[in-house]
Amino acid sequence: MKKSERVEIILKDLKRLYPSPPIPLNHKNAFTLLVAVVLSAQSTDKKVNELTRDLFKVADTPIKMVQLGIPRIYEYIKQLGLSNQKSKNIYNLSKLIIEKFQNQVPNTFEELESLPGVGHKTASVVMSQVFDIPSFPVDTHIHRLSQRWGLTNGDNVKQTEKDLKKLFPISEWNTLHLQIIFYGREYCTARGCDGTKCLMCKTLYPERKKKFICKKP
């Protein structure tokens, strides 16, 4: 099967399964989504949503977050991995948004990535989901499935993102990255599928018999 044929199948099947995928991280506005994405690094969305429920009740703007202060931010998120550094990053990015960006979450990659704790993936999520600017955030789920489905042979998320952008129409990027994430969590999990078990893997590679070894990002 040609790569172009696999792309068509992926688009069709994911649209059928997830016609309107929601943003997995709960948020109230651009700022709270930014904070939630920063907190999600090396943590599950489920846990982040549990903890931000209370955090966002008291601090859903940069000003309120700065007023909260690092020690109190930490108390809300201390169950997350890297909570000490995340507390500092959340405080400092809030302060920078107030001082440099007139209390508004910036809407360019360069400006977003200048904020503490904000890498390219985090910036891509905000750009796509808040500002509706075509982006293709690549997390571990997308990196894993892209390899299993023969869309990339890159050994890092940067290369995977580049390859996916070449294969899929730009109009699909913002929705597609969510669709792949949901499929990866529900059907093509890291341990539940080895490239031969889920319906998509079997459809794309019907002759594959051996376990597919993914390159870790």
Instruction: Give residue-wise pLDDT tens across range 52-109.
Output: 999 999 999 999 999 999 999 999 999 998 999 999 999 999 999 999 999 999 999 9
Give dist(CA 71, CA 217) in Å, integer: 32
| pLDDT range class, residue 216, cuts 50, 70, 90 | confident
User: CA-CA distances (angstroms) from residue 146 to 32, 59, 159, 180, 187?
Assistant: 29, 37, 11, 9, 14
- In a domain, residue 119? The reply is yes
Give dist(CA 56, CA 58) in Å, integer: 5
Q: What is the mean pLDDT of residues 18-38?
A: 96
**What pLDDT score does 1 carry?**
86
Q: What is the mean pLDDT of residues 106-117?
A: 97
Q: What is the mean pLDDT of residues 187-215?
A: 93
129, 160, 176 — which closes off a domain? 129
Clarify whether 121 is annotated catalytic.
yes
Query: Domain range spanning residue 159?
Result: 3-20+136-204
Please tell me the total count of domains within the chain.
2
95 plus 186 within the same structural domain: no
Please name the helix (run of DSSP H) or strand (run of DSSP E) that holds residue 50, with its range, or none.
Answer: helix 45-58
**What pLDDT score does 155 carry?**
81
Percent over 90 (pLDDT), the chain: 90
53 plus 120 within the same structural domain: yes
pTM: 0.91
Clarify whether 13 is annotated catalytic.
no
Q: Is the pLDDT of residue 121 over 90?
A: yes
71, 94, 129 — which closes off a domain? 129
145 plus 179 within the same structural domain: yes
| pLDDT range class, residue 140, cuts 50, 70, 90 | confident
**What pLDDT score does 117 carry?**
95
- In a domain, residue 86? The reply is yes
Q: What is the mean pLDDT of residues 103-120?
A: 97
- In a domain, residue 54? The reply is yes
Catalytic choice (12, 121, 132, 158): 121
78, 97, 129 — which closes off a domain? 129
Q: What is the mean pLDDT of residues 130-144?
A: 93
* Cβ-count burial 133-158 (b if 16+ within 10 Å, e if not): eebbbbbebbbbbbbbbbbbebeebe
Average pLDDT over the chain, rounded to an integer: 95
Q: Is the pLDDT of residue 217 over 80?
A: no
Q: What is the mean pLDDT of residues 182-193?
A: 93
Catalytic choice (139, 162, 165, 166): 139
Phi/psi zone of residue 167: left (φ > 0), alpha (ψ -120 to 50 degrees), beta? Answer: alpha
**What pLDDT score does 133 carry?**
97
